[in-house]
Structure 1
Amino acid sequence: MSRNSPAPDYSALLQDLTGVMPVERLVTDPLRRLAYGTDASFYRLVPQVVAEVRDEAEVKGVLAACRRHGASVTFRAAGTSLSGQAVSDSVLMILGSGWTQATVEDEGRRIRLQPGVIGADANRRLAAFARKIGPDPASIDSCKIGGIAANNASGMCCGTSDNSYQTLMSMRLVLADGTLVDTGDADSVAAFRASHAGLLDKLDDMGKRVRADETLAGRIRHKFAIKNTTGYSLNALVDFTDPLDILTHLMIGSEGTLGFIAEITYRTVPEHAHKASALLLFPDIAEACRAVVLLKQAPVSAVELMDRASLRSVEDKPGMPAQIRGLAEGVTALLVEARGETAESLSATLAEIGAVLGGVTTLFPPDFTTDPAEYGKLWKIRKGLFPAVGAVRPVGTTVIIEDVAFPIASLAAATVDLEHLCRKHGYDEAIIFGHALDGNLHFVFTQDFGIKAEVDRYARFMDEVAELVVGKYDGSLKAEHGTGRNMAPFVEMEWGAEATGLMWDIKHLLDAQGLLNPGVLLDRDPKAHLNNLKPLPAADALVDTCIECGFCERMCPSHGLTLSPRQRITSWREISRRAAAGENSDALRRLYDYQGIDTCAACGLCATACPVGIETGLLTKSLRGRRLGGAAHAVGQWTANHYGAAMSATRLGLSAAALVSKVAGPGTMAAMANGLRKLSGGRTPKVGEHLPTGADFTPPVNAQVGERVVYFPTCAGRAMGPASGDPEKDSLPTVMTRVLQRAGFGVVMPDGLDNLCCGQAFESKGLAATADAKAAELEAALFKASDHGRLPIIMDASACTWRMKTYLGERLKVLDSVEFLHDSVLPRLKPARQDQPVLVHVNCGARKQGLDDKMIGLAKACARNAVVPEAVGCCGFAGDKGFTTPELNDHALRHLAPQVPQGCEAGYSSNRTCEIGLADHADVPYRSIVYLLDRVTR
């Protein structure tokens, strides 16, 4: 689409799109459009329409509608792109559910993947075969295959030999004209060769002309000898003679400007289990780079370079090795990894590497470790660099990570020049690190795009960077992050007019109307990289360090229903900006109440994936507290003061519901309750067939002698018994006490049990002061019961354990039931493993405590078949959200039911409220993991 073309009629387009997909998957409200206007880059474009496509037919339908209306369209996978590839001011096509098929073939030697598969999930499928996909970007736990292929993303180990371009075997792709071709299917290929003979002939002719031009062909080969994602993959024209191969390899790295990758088949690469790493310190950059040149010929899998500023940025962080502190200026580090198929082959590899390193000077002798804990600490240095800058940047600035590549022979001089250039332009905080074997350097700095003078400084800096990389060293302006928007104006500078003209020819051939992701990869505007810069205004100290990378999104139960953590922060930033500027934000605030606040589970899992440790749920809870009126605070305080009575009322209510369920049946009881909910407009709670009964529990007499432990039965376990249809009838505290006593422990419970609470329920509502007051009461009771902290303290709900661990710090030692059962109880018992399969759910509280392996280990010690369902993270029940906002629970557990194994006895977890929603969606009972241990050790 030409810049001078009339603007599309988006109302007419939207009407057209309703014939392609359900209207509920066409996002038009201003809050979510704003939220989807952000990717991991420093650009913002707010789409007019966001279309959530579920299959290839919908992709073709959206493309057809956009062609009819002359509207541009951008494809988006995870939105972790760093160069602005995944934003649009027109139609943004996002992947809905249905794009996550992964098929392992030929004993793991190849894998067929749809674009919605997360890279790390593909590798998990391949782990049993000791294989992995070649690309290994740093964002592999979050980014999706569609983006990995479209950006030709690489990483620390794959270099130029194992990226998507090199490991591509076949592809299903949808062209701009709506044609679908599967290059792995002979019939599809034959049909395409017939229908698109003209297009293939032009590609064939283009390839022949390039290969015949020795100067141009040589130039292309030279450019791709190092990492290069600037512009299109012109190497396809010299590497292949079949125009279909040329086409598919041009799609790699095309950033959604040539077509839609609907499926890709990769040749996989070995994933050796035996690894060793060493941190090598050199007196200066020159010696480090001399070592890189030598190591290039050695059997190393990764060599990461870190300059002195990089080491300084993390040297005081927890867990960092002592040797990186207090180093002299100029000291440069190389983090080296080697791998082997066997321990013996690894030893031989290390000996070979040691011989190579004998030719260079290091500050300390090379010391390779094969201990996973030790080399994990070393890689923590490298992985902490980007967050280290992002977390300490001034509020209102963004953190930028650029990536370039130089010929290895020039790496030392180029690194020094790059350091000088950063200081020249006032980017004193900048750090430089990268994949040294490929001459690939990343430099990270902070930038304020809210001040014109700062934008001008950035523009001068980027001009000089381009001149340095291309003019002085003939390197790559983009090595692995993709050209995107911020290098599109520099493509001709790097490639020259002839090669760039070839790229424009490719674009026009495959996208004649120019509708696919315009402004990305190629742009004739020399200042395009300075347009649509994203503001990052102050919003709240709880989230101001957010860099909007999107790593959090895969953890969030509401992502795809309403907003993700990144989108909540983006939206609140805009609302805060408008408030500070005196602009009206009422419409956004009204939408945010539901999309941002009410549907946030506040589970905290986002923090476990966030590079800078942000827990967006803390913002949500703070906002909940701010919008509560005085009456709500008074009710919360009354409840806290009369907690025993509130728990008694809960038990009575559940007992009454259980009586109805017994008389009418669970299905009828649930239907009646939900009919009432519908009539009330959602004001009454949703009730499922697995609603708990009222708990029946009498605390035992406290043990006075023997190996005593303090057991605090949490509120949910004291109030909620098993569901009325569950074969188990005893309450959680009864079963926990029984198992502890069976293992030889004497159980002690704190005084005043009925009134005690950790405060979790109050905190989640935004009643922070009330929550902390209840936690303080509990602390005092636990302090007394544990003989001033001498006895172990066990809690039976992981969310509550996490709450008290966070609140108490080091004042008292509290243990989750999962860890105590695994570490201290299981070794004393002799479980008779049951044959019936069980489901295992590691809830958010357990995950945040790092108890995944212990929960699964307990289950596997008790059952021969313990199934952990894929793509089931936070259950979204969130205390009472499963009753009040059930769509959150429904969305979070949408993948659960199909994974229930035949003959499943039950599901097991460690949060009573989570278990309600899980049971409703799996249609089998869910209980605490202690019930399973009790069953097999009776």
Structure 2
Amino acid sequence: MTTGELLDPALDPAPGADVAADVAGRLRRAGLEVRDDAGTRAMYSSDASLYRIPPLAVVRPRDADEVAAALAVARATGTPITSRGAGTSVAGNAVGRGIVLDFSRHLGRVLSVDPDARTAVVEPGTVHAVLQRAVAPHGVRFGPDPSTHPRCTIGGMIGNNACGSRSLAYGRTSDNVAGLRLLTAAGDVVETGYDASGTPFARGADDVLAGVRSVMGAHLATARTELDRFGRQVSGYAAQHLLPERFDLTQALVGSEGTLGVITEATVRLVVDAPVRVVVVLGFDDIVAAGEAAPSVVEHGPTSCEGLDSRLLSVLRARRGEGAVPPLPRGTAWLFVELAGDERADVVDRAERLAAAGLGVDSLVVTDPLTQARLWRIREDGAGMAGRSPADRPAWPGWEDAAVPPHMLGSYLARFDELVTSYGMTSAPFGHFGDGCMHVRLDYPLDRPDGTAVLRAFLTDAARLVGEYGGSLSGEHGDGRARSELLPHMYSADAIAMFGGIKHAFDPTNLLNPGVLVDPDPVDADVRVAGSFPLARGGRTGLAMAYPHDDGDLAQAVHRCTGVGKCRADNSAAGGVMCPSYLATREEKDSTRGRARVLQEVVRGELAWSAPEVHDAMDLCLSCKGCASDCPTGIDMATYKSEVLHQTYRRRLRPRSHYTLGRLPFWARIAGLTPRLANLAVRLPLVGAVALWLAGVDRRRSVPAFARRPFRRSYVGPSAAARGGTPVVLWVDSFSDSFDPEVAAATVRVLEAAGYAPRLPDDRLCCGLTWITTGQLDAARKILGRTVASLADAARAGVPIVGLEPSCTGVLRSDALELVPGPDAEAVAASVRTLAELLTATPGWTAPDLSGTTLVAQPHCHHHAVMGWQADADLLAATGATVDRLSGCCGLAGNFGVEIGHYDVSVAVAGQQLLPALDAAPDALVLADGFSCRTQVADLRDRPAVHLAQLLDPAGPHAGDGA
């Protein structure tokens, strides 16, 4: 009996545990970095696919010798082994029951760059964007550019033969690989490449190569006629490259999905980018017309021809608002066409000729790079946004990557839409239309008892349809577990036998990524979202949050994570926040995706709320809400973390920081009675140190001083001159009131100067933010409920409610709908404004002239995620100030960076953008609306920072003391 059989719980669950311990022990004795805890196994149990297969153990090799050592253990124990990069595979290519090799942790270096030969040597875990940054100074780049380029790895691209949007210009990954170094299942080293004359070579494992040649000799006609019929035919093995007239093992191995060998090094070709790019957007009546027009577009020589339709844009607008989509030409479907060249006039002329060619109902030529970037972001986020179907149901991969000969695409799209409709499903197609490749996600009814049966039936019918068009089940994602069983609908029995012979020659014991391509697992096996979700054996009961966007179902909410892994990318270039803790630690458990995978185990009933693995995954979540806006699927990990803490500690003893930092407004109100005594107490050496420890505060943190006079105790209402102004409610949060009253005072002066008559709510209210972030949700609901009820009358009367602190403003705008849902909360959320939102919409208000002022602006994460910072950007632009707008989190994030155990990560997060920007501009004025952000700046760089109200204050940015 093999280890794979022992690990199958349906066969023998008890011995599987013994085998797992034995294999993990052998791996550790081999000196390998091994993770086999329940949390890690949950995180690596899925990629971006439908499938869930918990591995036995995860190994993170540091070099090729450690890869060989892992293979040796796998051989000795008969344990399957699967290679994994960023885990963004959508067909289930990167999950397996045995050992998973995670190359992204340590083996991600660019080893060398040869600008003259235009090649680079990389390790398999090298992130695409890292390679691009390394070679950019030489004026070259790696050609293929998948939408996941900020986080996908070169090894993963080789495994799937990825292409990306610009394959019309640069080809597939197989066209851009100049050599490979890999290990066979037997542990033999194989090197492939090309000699000086361009002739391919392969060295090592002579018996394997002889076996492959023998197999090919028996299937010559099939290899010459069934393969390589059009550019995006990547399903199965690329056996056409193994024909005796060339025998190019490099190209043959690309796209083999880790089933033939384990790559340890790759030499890739580099290209020179044309300096001028122009995008032409063509509008069409429908997606079929766009598909039919794509071949004519390609005749104009574009670098890219991407299609999408209004169904996808509707999802985007629902997620991010109308402003998320730049103006487009008329139509309900569009082609984004990129033309490139050396001379601007020539490229613009080509673009205008394409726009005037009459291929659609309307056209738009885009020369502005920023607008082009907005358009491409829509396309790049397509896979994530398509995670919600046009019917607002969860949508899944599985048939997301089919391709047909480009001249047949329009007809195929029409037939495909008919097929989807016949199953009662909806879809929003997009993809590489110039290549005939369509991406789509479908709302399979996986929550029904017959869900997997419907999945199997649909995939079978879809495979037949593609076969009818002479297409490929996969155009760049690989076949994986989603499509390998369906290959007979595309290939003859002889071709299937040929693939099996190649696999047997390389891997006779079926050790490498079994279940994929050859002897495949059923397409409906191991589906991770099938059936009902047994959240504590009750899917919608006992939850504190409402989850209105997920029909009240936490299971549906956490399964929004499609695994595209945008949380693993450096999102700073796109102005994003997500995910600061992952960027600081580079650990999967600290990514939004890793946390979502662990929570998926909770809703399955596999892990308890209080499980150490759950809290380990949640510990470094800053509750920044960056994922709520930056994740294209709409994950809101801050809300889920609050739920976890609530469920774990409800009616139980909590960590002491929950009683102190988690109830800070309560303690601040008491301290406000004797602020001098409170400030003195925390500054006395012994008393202060003990107080910090008791409060759960890291001793390296300074404690902001309480104001000598809280704002609420001194404010008497609008000035006489302002009393006839437009009424506005000033939401003075606990932080502004107790620690920074001058922010509130400056806001009053700014509002009065703009013609408003600000007033405070009648009651002393709190939004409950600190209770929410620490999961004290029963108390938070009462606190927030009182606040919402108090503000509701003003909201219904049309009186704006202006918030000062972004996190507290965000609670009224967002969290209130989760905790105290209803008409009052909806009215309040609709009335809440940031200061910038109010002022930029105020007729006649003019921004002050700040020409000559240099600002380093740190937007608060909740401001970015919940309200958006565009109004602030527009306002600052009107002042004439020079603004260095940062993205990313400051690292303090309320109570997070203050708590014991979080200091180092907090500083590391600040070191991503904030600290370098401060150090680079020592004389700049720091703008930070968030109290946490201002505290972090003061704590780590001893510099003052001002709120927007202080910057706009008629009395000057430093008016008043208020301490």
**TM-score bucket of the superposed structures, by smaller chain:** 0.7 to 0.9
What is the letter of the counterpart of residue 682 of structure 2? A
Give the distance between the partners of 1:148 and 1:399, measured in 2 at CA.
Answer: 18
Residue deviations 1:346-365, cap 9 Å, x none? 321123324643xx6x4x34
Residue deviations 1:82-123, cap 9 Å, x none? 111121222223346445546887499766655555545666
Give the distance between the partners of 2:340 and 2:629, measured in 1 at CA.
Answer: 30
What is the letter of the counterpart of residue 529 of structure 1? V
Counterpart position of 2:527: 533
Deviation (angstroms), 1:599: 4.7
* Change beyond 3 A, Cα 1:159–1:623: same
Give the distance between the partners of 1:816 and 1:756, measured in 2 at CA.
Answer: 23
Match of 2:465 among 464, 468, 471: 468
* Change beyond 3 A, Cα 1:564–1:571: same
Give the distance between the partners of 1:650 and 1:142, measured in 2 at CA.
Answer: 49
Deviation (angstroms), 1:340: 3.9
Match of 1:19 among 18, 25, 29: 29
Match of 2:685 among 637, 660, 664: 660
Task: For residue 276 of structure 1, give the secondary structure of its aligned residue in structure 2.
Answer: strand
Match of 1:438 among 413, 435, 440: 435
Residue deviations 1:325-353, cap 9 Å, x none? 9x9xxxx8342423345552332112332
Q: Does structure 1 conserve the Cα–Cα contact (< 8 Å) formed by 2:185 and 2:506?
A: yes
Q: Does structure 1 conserve the Cα–Cα contact (< 8 Å) formed by 2:282 and 2:334?
A: yes
Give the distance between the partners of 2:251 and 2:938, measured in 1 at CA.
Answer: 46
Match of 1:601 among 616, 622, 626: 622
Q: Does 1:879 align with 2:885?
A: no
Give the distance between the partners of 1:698 and 1:104, measured in 2 at CA.
Answer: 60
Counterpart position of 1:725: none
Match of 2:225 among 209, 219, 225: 219
Residue deviations 1:809-858, cap 9 Å, x none? 342432269999xx999962354669xxx896864534554439978998
Q: Does structure 1 conserve the Cα–Cα contact (< 8 Å) formed by 2:388 and 2:394?
A: no
Give the distance between the partners of 2:883 and 2:637, measured in 1 at CA.
Answer: 36
Give the distance between the partners of 1:85 and 1:343, measured in 2 at CA.
Answer: 42
Q: Does structure 1 conserve the Cα–Cα contact (< 8 Å) formed by 2:385 and 2:632?
A: yes
Q: Does structure 2 conserve the Cα–Cα contact (< 8 Å) formed by 1:340 and 1:346?
A: yes
Counterpart position of 1:303: 305
Greater Cα shift, 430-439 or 307-316? 307-316
Q: Does structure 2 conserve the Cα–Cα contact (< 8 Å) formed by 1:112 and 1:266?
A: no
The CA RMSD over aligned residues, in Å, is 5.6
Counterpart position of 1:405: 403
Residue deviations 1:181-212, cap 9 Å, x none? 898999xxxxx99xx94426864995799699
Residue deviations 1:134-168, cap 9 Å, x none? 33333345534432332222233324843322223
Deviation (angstroms), 1:313: 7.8
Q: Does 1:553 align with 2:567?
A: yes
Deviation (angstroms), 1:479: 0.9
Match of 1:523 among 511, 518, 527: 518
- Which structure 2 residues correspond to residues 161-310 of structure 1 after superposition, within 5 A? 161-169=170-178, 173=182, 176=185, 197-199=203-205, 203=209, 215=221, 218-219=224-225, 222-223=228-229, 225-237=230-242, 246-247=249-250, 250-255=253-258, 257-262=260-265, 265-268=268-271, 270=273, 274-282=277-285, 285=288, 288-305=290-307
Residue deviations 1:231-261, cap 9 Å, x none? 23335446995x7x73376145534652135
Counterpart position of 1:138: 147
Counterpart position of 2:80: 72
Give the distance between the partners of 2:483 and 2:810, measured in 1 at CA.
Answer: 45
Residue deviations 1:716-772, cap 9 Å, x none? 45555xxxxxxxxxx68379949989x999999865999554432233233442442
Task: For residue 487 of structure 1, give the secondary structure of its aligned residue in structure 2.
Answer: helix
Deviation (angstroms), 1:49: 1.6
Q: Does structure 2 conserve the Cα–Cα contact (< 8 Å) formed by 1:207 and 1:237?
A: yes
- Which structure 2 residues correspond to residues 876-915 of structure 1 after superposition, within 5 A? 877-884=892-899, 886-887=901-902, 890-891=904-905, 894=908, 905=922, 909-914=928-933
Task: For residue 146 of structure 1, give the secondary structure of its aligned residue in structure 2.
Answer: helix
Counterpart position of 1:845: 863
Give the distance between the partners of 1:475 and 1:279, measured in 2 at CA.
Answer: 26
Residue deviations 1:199-229, cap 9 Å, x none? 2686499579969997456437633x32022
Give the distance between the partners of 1:108 and 1:733, measured in 2 at CA.
Answer: 62
What is the letter of the counterpart of residue 683 of structure 2? A
Q: Does 1:483 align with 2:479?
A: yes
Counterpart position of 2:347: 346
Which runs of 5 or more structure 2 residues have no equivalent in the other structure? 8-15, 534-538, 541-551, 569-577, 817-827
Give the distance between the partners of 1:640 and 1:880, measured in 2 at CA.
Answer: 12
TM (norm. structure 2) is 0.73
* Change beyond 3 A, Cα 1:884–1:205: same
Q: Does 1:799 align with 2:807?
A: yes
* Change beyond 3 A, Cα 1:119–1:692: farther
* Change beyond 3 A, Cα 1:625–1:735: closer
Match of 1:644 among 669, 675, 679: 669
Residue deviations 1:533-567, cap 9 Å, x none? 22353445254153431245333345537464444
* Change beyond 3 A, Cα 1:323–1:138: closer
Q: Does structure 1 conserve the Cα–Cα contact (< 8 Å) formed by 2:326 and 2:375?
A: yes
Q: Does structure 2 conserve the Cα–Cα contact (< 8 Å) formed by 1:313 and 1:389?
A: no
Give the distance between the partners of 2:440 and 2:82, measured in 1 at CA.
Answer: 28
* Change beyond 3 A, Cα 1:747–1:686: farther
Give the distance between the partners of 1:93 and 1:167, measured in 2 at CA.
Answer: 24
Give the distance between the partners of 1:91 and 1:829, measured in 2 at CA.
Answer: 60
* Change beyond 3 A, Cα 1:686–1:386: closer
Deviation (angstroms), 1:403: 2.0
Deviation (angstroms), 1:482: 0.9
Q: Does structure 2 conserve the Cα–Cα contact (< 8 Å) formed by 1:45 and 1:89?
A: yes
Greater Cα shift, 114-123 or 36-45? 114-123
* Change beyond 3 A, Cα 1:624–1:862: farther
Task: For residue 683 of structure 2, give the secondary structure of its aligned residue in structure 1.
Answer: helix
Which runs of 5 or more structure 1 residues have no equivalent in the other structure? 187-191, 579-584, 678-682, 721-730
Number of positions where the alignment pairs a residue of Structure 1 with one of Structure 2: 869
Residue deviations 1:45-96, cap 9 Å, x none? 1112223445555444433333333222222223221111121222223346
Give the distance between the partners of 1:396 and 1:824, measured in 2 at CA.
Answer: 44
Give the distance between the partners of 1:892 and 1:113, measured in 2 at CA.
Answer: 31
Deviation (angstroms), 1:275: 2.8
Percent of aligned pairs with the same amino acid: 21
Give the distance between the partners of 1:26 and 1:650, measured in 2 at CA.
Answer: 52
Give the distance between the partners of 2:189 and 2:676, measured in 1 at CA.
Answer: 59
Give the distance between the partners of 1:625 and 1:322, measured in 2 at CA.
Answer: 44
- Which structure 2 residues correspond to residues 625-774 of structure 1 after superposition, within 5 A? 625-627=646-648, 629=650, 644-646=669-671, 653=678, 655-660=680-685, 684-695=696-707, 714-716=733-735, 719=738, 733=742, 737=746, 757-764=766-773, 765=775, 766=777, 767-773=779-785
What is the letter of the counterpart of residue 524 of structure 1? D
Task: For residue 408 of structure 2, give the secondary structure of its aligned residue in structure 1.
Answer: helix
Q: Does structure 2 conserve the Cα–Cα contact (< 8 Å) formed by 1:829 and 1:937?
A: no
Give the distance between the partners of 2:803 and 2:94, measured in 1 at CA.
Answer: 47
Q: Does 1:150 align with 2:159?
A: yes
Give the distance between the partners of 1:321 and 1:866, measured in 2 at CA.
Answer: 24
Q: Does structure 1 conserve the Cα–Cα contact (< 8 Å) formed by 2:124 and 2:266?
A: yes
Give the distance between the partners of 2:151 and 2:580, measured in 1 at CA.
Answer: 15
Residue deviations 1:626-681, cap 9 Å, x none? 555469999899986786225567885554333429xx9xxxx87x889x68xxxx
Deviation (angstroms), 1:476: 0.9
